[in-house]
């Protein structure tokens, strides 16, 4: 039962990370392109406001990327759980934290092994 809950949570984390990266990231990129197309139409006095808008948009895109990676670390998708744990551990600022991990293999009913 616990394994099924963990698997469901992991699938949902992957979906959220993918949606954040793909959907929101694409929309932010499209918004930046649209702003770029109207940038030349803005009077010189308004350029400072446009520059601030670009900075805000870029900051938002970086935050979406950070959140999507925090939800689903790239190392987890590419290298598995142990590599993801090592990455998380390396970013910790508290040296007292220690992660000990192991793998327990068990045969599931009907797996034929």
Structure token pair of residue 38: 């109207």
Q: Quote the pLDDT of residue 112.
A: 56
Q: Quote the pLDDT of residue 32.
A: 87
Triad 35, 31, 69: Cα angle to 5°: 135
Q: Quote the pLDDT of residue 64.
A: 85
* CA atoms of 53 and 68, how far apart (whole Å): 23
Does pTM surpass 0.75?
no
* CA atoms of 83 and 106, how far apart (whole Å): 22
What's the rounded mean pLDDT across residues 23-37? 86
Q: What is the pLDDT of residues 47-104, one digit of tens each?
A: 888 888 889 999 988 888 888 777 776 666 677 777 777 777 777 666 666 666 666 6
């Amino acid at each position: 039962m616990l394994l099924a809950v963990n698997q469901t949570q992991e699938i949902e984390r992957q979906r959220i990370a993918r949606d954040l990266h793909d959907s929101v990231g694409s929309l932010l990129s499209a918004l930046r392109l649209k702003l770029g197309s109207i940038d030349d139409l803005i009077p010189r006095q308004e350029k400072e406001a446009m520059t601030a808008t670009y900075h805000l948009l870029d900051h938002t895109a970086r935050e979406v990327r950070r959140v999507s990676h925090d939800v689903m670390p790239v190392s987890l998708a590419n290298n598995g759980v142990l590599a993801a744990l090592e990455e998380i551990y390396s970013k910790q600022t508290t040296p007292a934290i220690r992660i000990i991990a192991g793998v327990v293999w068990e045969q599931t009913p009907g797996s034929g092994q």
